[in-house]
Amino acid sequence: MEMPAMSIGRLTSRLPIIQGGMAVRISLSPLAGAVARAGGIGVIAGSGLTTSELAEEIRAARKIAGDGIVGVNIMVAVRAFRELVHTALDEGIDLVIAGAGFSRDLFEWCRQAGAAVVPIVGSERVAQLSQRFGADAVIVESVEAGGHLGTQETLDELLPRIVEAVDVPVIGAGGIANGRDIKRVLDMGAVGVQMGSRFAATKESSAPEAFKQMYVRATDDDIVLVKSPVGLPGRALDNPLARSLAAGDYPPIDSCRACLKKCGNEYCIIDALLRAQSGDVETGLVFAGMSAAQIDDIPAVDELMDRLVAEWRVASEEAIA
């Protein structure tokens, strides 16, 4: 029994798995390239990178991926959104994923460049709007996801409604940790899944060892919501910074980078994410989804992909028996 392929516009991946674009500097070329090479869609997180850094990461990922599919994830909320998207398109990126806002211009930019455009949505209205503007697919990201959250609904509640509401391919994201979860999401009508947290704790992830070990040790009680200056709640792992944010005790902003189009200025989220990426998991912000509680090891991407396929196959065979 073969796991189904996934088609998004002119693109077809051998496996219906998109690796989440986790910023800042977690989903870089080693991870994206390895996932693409293994048959999924590898994604570089562009938010927080300079345009030259993004171009270098795309080129490096291509060398690893071979003929695999490589995309970028760039938050609409970042001030350099236009410049980063055009850099990715100039580098011949296969697809652009965008969330934390909605950009009408993105659809035309991608159409002209021949790249697929895949918005992240949290409601039927935004999914239908995306389809109207020419989306090749939509990613339905639920409340179980890590990072910034655009909905309070679970994937089981939200995904079937969006599958019914649009005609473009729908990808499910949020709380997906294993092959059994993949089968459940596909059975709800999705053509594929996006998985972030599970790929953050792989050998090829650019997260430091201390960051990955927080995932391995995490329990359900360690996964919390934090306030983000982006204007959306964020899901992260409990640490001293998360507790300070919950108490309204925000770290001072040493120097504003003006990285966001709109910022609450409570604290600098880029600095907090960079501290975690550098290994400071006490005062850094460690984003994670609900699936982090199910992670207990740090495999190589090839090993993880084989495991996901095997778990999906077992779940599928059990359903037939």
The string of pLDDT tens digits covering residues 103-129 is 999 999 999 999 999 999 999 999 999
| pLDDT for position 35 | 98
242 by DSSP, 3-state: which? helix
Residue 9 CA to residue 13 CA, distance in Å, equals 11
| pLDDT for position 257 | 72
- The residue with greater pLDDT, 149 or 58, is 58
How does the average pLDDT of the chain come out, rounded?
94
Q: Stretch 71-79: mean pLDDT, rounded?
A: 92
For residue 65, pLDDT beyond 80: yes
- 6-206+293-312 fold: TIM Barrel (3.20.20)
Q: Stretch 148-155: mean pLDDT, rounded?
A: 88
Let me know: does 218 contact 296? Beta carbons within 8 Å.
no
Residues 124, 106, 11, CA angle at the centre, nearest 5°? Answer: 80
For residue 259, pLDDT beyond 80: no
Percent of the chain with pLDDT over 70: 100
> Exposed, middle or buried by CB within 10 Å (0-12, 13-18, 19+), for 221?
exposed
For residue 321, pLDDT beyond 80: no
| pLDDT for position 197 | 96
For residue 77, pLDDT beyond 90: no
The string of pLDDT tens digits covering residues 187-237 is 999 999 999 999 999 999 999 999 999 999 999 999 999 988 888 889 999
Assign 79 a pLDDT band (cuts: 50, 70, 90): confident
Residue 115 CA to residue 104 CA, distance in Å, equals 15
CA 128 from chain centre, in angstroms, equals 21
Domain layout of the chain by residue ranges? 6-206+293-312, 209-291
Q: Stretch 162-170: mean pLDDT, rounded?
A: 97
Q: Which of 147-161, 211-225, 296-310 has the lowest mean pLDDT?
A: 147-161
Which pTM was predicted?
0.94
| pLDDT for position 171 | 98
Percent of the chain with pLDDT over 90: 82
For residue 320, pLDDT beyond 90: no
| pLDDT for position 40 | 98
| pLDDT for position 185 | 98
Write out the E strands in the chain.
6-8, 11-13, 17-19, 41-45, 69-73, 95-98, 116-121, 138-141, 147-148, 170-173, 192-195, 223-227, 233-237
Residues 155, 159, 164, CA angle at the centre, nearest 5°? Answer: 165
Helix pair 124-133, 155-165: axis angle to 10 deg: 40
Token pair 């029994």 is found at 1
Q: Stretch 132-152: mean pLDDT, rounded?
A: 93
